[in-house]
Amino acid sequence: MEDLSKLDNHDDTEKNSLDISWQKVAAVYLKIGTIGFGGGYAVMDLIHSELVDKKQWLSEQRYKNTLSLAEMAPGALTVNILAGIAYRLGGIKTMVLATAALLFPSFLLIVTLAGIFLRLEGNYLVRGAMEGLTSGVVGLMLAVVWDLVKRFPHRWYYYLSATCALAASLLLKLNPIWLVLLGAGTGAFKFFIQRIFLK
């Protein structure tokens, strides 16, 4: 049976927020904002690699918990999860400055490219390039999904929940927030039942 203790215990490998300056967090976020093309799940692998694998600023379980909370919040997933992590690492100041560093490259790039695209949008080379970019982003998202599947807990409950969520999304066209809330509710119910039987 799944070990429930990890839900309550903090991972000892997580760095104390006092050891991480806002400048360090902002520098990493600036890097993610500069090379993290695709947005959303396409950037999740980069975020995981930088913050969990390389910097080890938070544990795998903490990353998954923050990702789940970010999915429930309105707005861009990338901004939500990174703002939440930055707040945990250094509070409001770190969150504001690091998030600004994250968004700055995209802001600068879109302002620059918008003017160029408006002038050349009728060009067949530009249209072909945009279609190619779309295909590339789809490929990035598929790669991220595959990476998530590989890290997926190998237990029947999780496979059943994922299958039900996929079916509900495709067949019932449910809003993603309802899928997230239903997943959270069934997960909480599962652990509640387990705690009763473990007593």
19, 159, 186 from 149: Cα distances, Å: 33, 10, 20
Q: Are 40 and 141 in contact (CB under 8 A)?
A: yes
Q: What is the mean pLDDT of residues 130-148?
A: 78
Consecutive H or E run containing 188: helix 176-198
- Above 70 in pLDDT, residue 13? no
Q: What angle do CA 2, 176, 33 make, to 5 degrees?
A: 90
Give per-residue pLDDT as tens, 59-109.
988 998 898 888 878 888 899 999 999 999 999 999 999 999 999 998 998
Confidence of residue 4 (pLDDT cuts 50, 70, 90): very low
User: Which pLDDT belongs to residue 18?
Assistant: 45
Give per-residue pLDDT as tens, 58-70.
998 899 889 888 8
Domain residue extents for the chain: 5-151, 154-199
